[in-house]
A and B are shown apart, each in its own frame.
Chain A
Amino acid sequence: MTDSNPGSAKPTLKTLPGDDVRQILWRYADRYDLQMVVQSARSVARGLVARLVAEGARHSHEWTPDKQRLLDAMDEAGITAVAIDPEHGGYIPGPKNLALALVAFELSWVDAGAATASLAGNLALAPIHERGTPEQVAKYMGGAVPAAPGEDRRTLRGAFALTEPIPYVGVDTNTMAGRVRVAEWKEGEEPMLHVDKRGRFITNAAFANFVCAAVASDDPRIKGSCMIILEDTDEGVWDPGSPTLKLVHQLSATNDPIYSLKVPASRIIGGYTVQDGVIVPNYSHAEVIEAVFRRTRVTVGLMTAAKLLSAVEPVIRYHRQRFRGGGQLQPGSPRYELGIQQREDALHRLVDVWATGEAAASLGFYTARLFDEFDPLEREKDRLFAERGIKGARAQLKAFAAVKDAALEFIRLEHMPADKRDTARYEELLNDTLVQFVVKDALSQVFCPATKLWNTGVGANMMREAVSLMGGYGITEDCPGFLGQKWMDAQLEATYEGPEAVQRRQLTVTMVNDLFLAQFRHWIRQMRQIAARKPGTGACTLATAMELWLWTIEHLQKAKDANGDTLYHGQRQGVAFPMADALSWLLASRQQILDVLELEEKGKDNPVLADGFEGTVGFLTDLCHVMAARASGEVGRIAAELVYGYLRHPSWDGDCDSCFRASELEAVASVVPGFDSSPLEVIQDDSSHADKAGPCVRFPGMERFRELRLKLDGCLTGARLAKDRAAAALTEVMIPEALDYPR
């Protein structure tokens, strides 16, 4: 028996963070419904899902009876009904973004294909939930609730069909081949429409009995485009098509379906009006898709976050046990106990994987919560607009522009100490739906693409590191935690629901919105304040990196390149896209820091956490510091490349303000003693010069940038010490004896 309190060394991480810690970090400690959903999803994931993967269910492309069992298990465990409002048979009241995010996280901890199977059902319902008519909502949401035993109805299962065979819709969702035309329109009756849609890579199409399809009009009697609901009992061709031969997510069903069906016009999602004999859908397909993806993409980001965090335990166990067995090593010897953990690089790399997982989860769950706040605001905004007769994109934009100044004022007041601001005005703006809507909208328009982009893109790269840490085992099917499969799966998460380019494109527009930047500026100060209280978080480093990013984005919007061309605009992806990446690093790191502060604040009074609390917080703080340093490095690198990279390097024979002929220099030095010892570029009288591309770069107006870059380097002080501490903690943390899902 050992002593539980050996000496007074600084407390370190004792066990892997459990549910009590996670609930506080991700802010659902007071949501019992969500805690139960987590347990429920976990039991399906680590039970049936894990068994299916272990038994090789991923080896087939077809939708097999075994895979079908997954749907039944998810129905039975309440997962299918999570997305549905109580009035239609669900059981979680209010917005469900966080709930769905937690479900996806739990399922992806084991296998993201299973998560996708669940997600795709929600994706199919989302257009109806977001934009459907009350009748559509009642029918399809209600029908998607699993039929109770003995209930005589089939459960509705949907698919979302946007993507089409090449060369049509993919990243650019404007060009579509899917068509809708009027089939019959009898006087005074509901028009019947004919829909032709071929899908590519459509999840759930193998078993879906309804599909939400994006189609464009092929008929002067129908305006624009729309999303429309198709059912397998409609008249015409309903061909689920052949399975996609995918390398990933094989527990979900992906097919290339063909639909050619006659459906009533009432299936147009969101309804329509008839104007001058033309059917005008209330929402174009693009409007529906925008409302859908901005929510569901967050969930995808969390799938990759789960993978990274799920890798920690298997890697630690593999490393520790690496040299055991064979009888040569004695228990107690460092090689026996620590195995590969004796090697610093292995520890440091796992720290990176873990820190990325934490940051990704923090970013994703924050964004999910943001949408939970945003949803009721959006509904209230829609109600207000309907009341005031504000219709169409242009009229809405005008209404938003009208409250922009008030929104900026609110942002300013919100970041003032409560006792220093005009409380009455603050309350007034706080209760102004439109003001609140535009403030939150500006955030959600950045955080959604940032989550999808960073979590999946950086996450996929990091998953490769995790696989590497398992050596050859990592790329076998036997690898505990299915890490190899997870690495490959992460690439799909970076692709479907809009690949990285789409997220970067959105950020190009939204990250320069004044309402976002105004909030971002306050966050810089907030990070400094945090750093003053808690220097070890890396918040100061991050604040400097945020300043650098801000300077750079402002500069790029004004500056021109060496050819006089504008640097920052939508088509110049070489400028805007890397800035989107850089911002995502910052947001992830910031969110990670905020979550750890929350844990420290709320967890200190929690009796379950009392034991080992300081060590847990200390370790997670070190991970924040590691991530802040890494994020700052990325920002520094990207900013410097963009700020300087588009300028022409000074040359020896061009205009060189700092160049002197050797003879000139001698003459000046005789008048100004010491002049020749200042850092000047010298061209010899025979025109020879130092061996380099040209005189060193000095551009006027860049002083602040250089200052910030230099400062940022200094701000990295301590980051590697934090990494060393975190690495040491990995050698001591107690892990379970075995993984709680099979291999």
Chain B
Amino acid sequence: MSNGYHIVVCGSLVPDPLQTLEPVTTPDGPGLKNESMLPSVLDPWAAHALYEAAHLAKSVPGSKVWLVSLGPKAKLQQLMMAVAQKASFEFVAVDGSASGFTDSFETAQALAKAIESIAGLDRQRLLLFGGCSSASRDAGTTVGMVGALLGIEEQFLAVDEIVPNDDGSFRVKERIEGAQYLVSECAGAPAVLAWATGNLPEPPNNPQVGMANMRTILPALAKAQAAGNLRGSLRFESVETPTQRRETRVVKDAGIDEIAQELAEWIRG
């Protein structure tokens, strides 16, 4: 492919999963205790999507990556101090709640609007990336809806691999039930790829890459539009943590069987 892809990654912040996450009622509805004070990380699935996007852009000359984030502006800025070091991208920010208690449809609309207004984005070359899931709301529907709103019909969910061909077409490996993969050939962009974990390790931080990205990040934050009400007509009757208590531990070198066994026991309660 001569021109390369225009890869737009949708991804925002979630509270650091090691933090204590306790639901509380706030004047604006449900939230997490001390939510605005908790340190954030890039949503892990979106992070995989970003690393894959950067990798793809490197291997297909002429490609370009945008990261579109909907989140509280000031918190996004802090997040970028780490995320901007991971890969080269142009940043687009939308100021609004990244809470798990917003509606994925409203969120998708705000993201689609932001993507539509990206100057220089060639929608015919667009690969819309994002997470197939999220560490906050975990509706698993957002990226698909953004794609639909942008009129993209080729959609791949729970993607673990993309292999580009020279003619712009590509092969996609998607996770399906029973630990199986579905392999599809796609004729080319535009397409939606909602990522599972991919295959790439987290890139090391590189402050030099980060400082180069800051050239677009700061202006993007300055002109970030407010997303408005992201809860739509959504109402929460009640919110509670699962009855199983989450005892977070950091364990090294556990075998797959051991992890599976522990998870099964935890789910049984």
* Interface of A toward B, CB cutoff 8 Å: 1-4, 14-15, 18-20, 32-33, 35-40, 43-44, 51, 54-55, 73, 76-78, 91, 606-612, 734-743
What's the nearest-Cβ distance from chain B to residue A326, in Å?
Answer: 15
- If A18-B39, A610-B36 touch, whether A2 touches B214 (CB-CB below 8 Å) is no
Known: A14-B37, A606-B74, A734-B20. A77 touches B205 (CB 8 A): yes
A43-B205, A77-B205 known; A608+B33 contact, CB < 8 A:
no
B200 interface hit (Cβ, 8 Å): no
In the complex, the answer to whether B33 meets A2 with C-beta atoms within 8 Å is yes
B18 lies within 8 A of A39 (CB): no
B211 lies within 8 A of A612 (CB): no
Q: How large is the interface on B (under 10, 10 to 19, 20 to 34, 35 or more residues)?
A: 35 or more
Tell me whether B25 is interfacial, beta carbon within 8 Å.
yes
A233 to chain B minimum Cβ distance, whole angstroms, is: 30
A91 touches B211 (CB 8 A): yes
Question: How far in angstroms is the closest Cβ of chain A from B168?
Answer: 28
Nearest to B81 among chain A residues (CB) is A35
Q: Knowing A15-B34, A36-B85, A40-B85, say if A77 contacts B20 (CB, 8 Å).
A: no
Partner-binding segment picked from B190-198, B244-252, B259-267:
B244-252
Q: Which of B7-42 contact A (CB under 8 A)?
A: 16, 18-20, 22-26, 30-31, 33-39
Measured CA separation A612–B34 after assembly (Å): 8
B109 to chain A, nearest CB (A): 24
| Nearest CB of chain A from residue B242's CB, rounded to whole Å | 13
- Top 3 nearest A-B pairs (CB, nearest first) are A40-B205, A737-B248, A39-B82
Report whether A4 and B33 are in contact in the complex, using a CB–CB cutoff of 8 Å. Answer: yes
Partner of A36, one of B37, B207, B239: B207
Most central of A77, A608, A735 by chain B CB within 10 Å: A608
Chain A residues closer than 8 Å to B210, beta-carbon distance = 32, 36, 40
* Assembled-state Cα–Cα distance A3/B24 (Å): 6
Chain B residues numbered 204-231 whose CB sits less than 8 Å from any CB in chain A: 204-208, 210-211, 214, 218
Give the complex CA separation of A44 and B214 in angstroms.
22
Give the Cβ gap from A735 to chain B, nearest Cβ, in Å: 7
Further pairs besides A43-B205, A77-B206: 12, Cβ < 8 Å: A1-B30, A35-B81, A39-B205, A40-B206, A40-B210, A77-B205, A608-B78, A609-B37, A611-B34, A734-B33, A736-B19, A738-B18
Within the complex, what minimum Cβ distance (angstroms) separates B153 from chain A? 39
A291 to B240, CA, bound (A): 60
Complex Cα–Cα for A463 and B34 (A): 30
Select B246's contact among A735, A737, A739, beta carbons within 8 Å.
A737
A32 is contacted by which of B23, B214, B240, B252 (Cβ under 8 Å)?
B214
Question: How near does chain B come to A558, taking the closest CB pair, in angstroms?
Answer: 53
The answer to whether B18 touches A736 (Cβ under 8 A) is yes
- Closest B residue to A14 by CB, please name it: B34
Q: How far is the CB of B243 from chain A (nearest CB, A)?
A: 12
How far is it, in angstroms, between the C-alpha of A15 and the C-alpha of B21 when the chains are bound?
12
Instruction: Tell me the number of A-to-B contacts counted with CB atoms below 8 Å.
Output: 125
Q: What's the least CB distance linking A212 to chain B, in Å?
A: 27
Q: Is the CB of B250 within 8 A of A743?
A: yes
How far does the alpha carbon of A55 sit from the alpha carbon of B252 in the complex, in Å?
Answer: 9
Q: Bound complex: CA of A469 vs CA of B19, how far in Å?
A: 23
| Contact present for A611 and B250 (CB under 8 Å) | no
Is the pair B207, A742 in contact by a Cβ cutoff of 8 Å? no
Does B72 make an interface contact (CB < 8 A)? yes
Q: Which of B45-74 contact A (CB under 8 A)?
A: 72-74
Cα separation A19 to B37 with both chains bound (whole Å): 10
Could you tell me if A611 and B37 are in contact, using CB atoms closer than 8 angstroms?
yes
Q: Is the CB of A15 within 8 A of B207?
A: no
B238 lies within 8 A of A15 (CB): no
24 pairs from A and B in contact (CB 8 Å cutoff): A1-B24, A2-B22, A18-B37, A18-B38, A19-B39, A36-B205, A39-B85, A39-B205, A40-B205, A43-B205, A76-B206, A77-B207, A78-B208, A608-B72, A608-B74, A608-B75, A608-B78, A611-B35, A611-B36, A612-B36, A612-B37, A740-B16, A740-B18, A742-B252
Evaluate contact between A737 and B81: CB separation under 8 angstroms: no
Q: Contacting B72 at CB < 8 Å: which of A18, A76, A77, A607? A: A607
- The residue that B20 contacts in the complex, of A40, A608, A736, with Cβ under 8 A, is A736
- In the complex, what distance in Å separates the CA atom of A91 from the CA atom of B208? 7
Chain B 70-99 residues near chain A, CB threshold 8 A: 72-75, 78, 81-82, 84-85
Please report the C-alpha to C-alpha distance between residue A40 and residue B209 in the assembled complex, in whole angstroms. Answer: 11
- Please determine whether A4 and B248 come into contact, CB atoms closer than 8 angstroms: no
Nearest residue, chain A, Cβ from B212: A91
Contacts of B73 in A (CB 8 A): 607
> Is B34 within 8 A of A51, CB to CB?
no
Q: Among the listed A32, A77, A611, A742, which residue makes an inter-chain contact with B204, where contact means beta carbons less than 8 Å apart? A: A77
* Contacting pair A36 B211 (CB below 8 A): yes
Q: Which residues of B contact A2 (CB under 8 A)?
A: 22, 24-25, 33
Chain A residues contacting B20 (CB-CB under 8 Å) are 734-737
CA distance A54 to B252 in the complex (A): 9
Contacts of A32 in B (CB 8 A): 81, 210-211, 214, 218
B16 touches A4 (CB 8 A): no
List residues of chain A with CB within 8 A of the CB of B240. Answer: 1
How distant is the Cα of A55 from the Cα of B82 in the complex, in angstroms?
Answer: 26
The minimal Cβ–Cβ distance linking B260 to chain A, given in whole angstroms, is 21
Q: How far is the CB of B127 from chain A (nearest CB, A)?
A: 27
Question: Within the assembled complex, what's the spacing in Å between the Cα atoms of A735 and B247?
Answer: 14
CA distance A155 to B19 in the complex (A): 40
Please give the distance in Å from A207's CB to the nearest CB on chain B. Answer: 21
A33 contacts B34, C-beta separation under 8 Å: no
CB A726 to nearest CB in B, in angstroms, measures: 18
The reply to whether A33 and B37 form a contact with Cβ atoms under 8 Å apart is no
In angstroms, Cα B26 to Cα A17, docked, is 22
Q: Is B25 in contact with A1, judged by CB distance below 8 angstroms?
A: yes
Interface centre among B38, B75, B210, B247 (most CB of A within 10 A): B210
Taking the closest CB of chain B, its distance from the CB of A708, in whole angstroms, is: 42
Whether B205 and A78, one on each chain, are in contact in the complex, defined by CB atoms closer than 8 angstroms, is: yes
Collect the chain B residues with CB atoms within 8 Å of residue A91's CB. 207-208, 211
Task: With both chains docked as a complex, state the minimum distance between the C-beta of A164 and any C-beta of chain B, in angstroms.
Answer: 37
Q: Give complex CA distance A522, B42 in Å.
A: 47
Q: Please give, as numbers and ranges, the residues of chain B lying within 8 Å of A15 by CB-CB distance.
A: 34, 37-38
Q: Which residues of B contact A35 (CB under 8 A)?
A: 81
Rounded to whole angstroms, the CA-CA distance of A429 and B204 in the bound complex is 47
Known: A608-B36, A737-B246. A40 touches B78 (CB 8 A): no
CA distance in complex: A736, B75 (Å): 18
Q: Smallest CB-CB separation from B15: which chain A residue?
A: A736
The interface centre, meaning the residue of B31, B37, B218 with most chain A CB atoms within 10 A of its CB, is B37
In whole Å, how far is A634's beta carbon from the nearest beta carbon of chain B?
Answer: 34
Closest B residue to A607 by CB, please name it.
Answer: B74
Does the CB pair B37–A78 fall under 8 Å?
no
Complex-state Cα separation, A3 to B246, whole angstroms = 21
Closest chain-B Cβ to A71's Cβ sits at a distance in Å of 13
The closest CB in chain B to the CB of A4 belongs to B24
Contact B39 A1 (CB under 8 A): no
Contact, CB under 8 Å: B81 / A36: yes
Contact in complex: B18, A73 (CB < 8 Å):
no
Q: Chain A residues near B246: list those with CB within 8 A.
A: 737
Q: Is the CB of B34 within 8 A of A19?
A: no
CB contacts (< 8 Å) of A611 on chain B: these are: 34-37
Min C-beta distance of A114 to chain B, whole Å: 15
Residue of B nearest to A74 (CB): B204
Q: Are B37 and A43 within 8 A (Cβ)?
A: no
Identify which of B36, B218, B249 gathers the most chain A CB atoms within 10 Å of its CB: B36
Greatest chain A CB density within 10 A among B25, B72, B218 is at B25
Which residues of chain A have C-beta atoms less than 8 A from B24's C-beta?
1-4
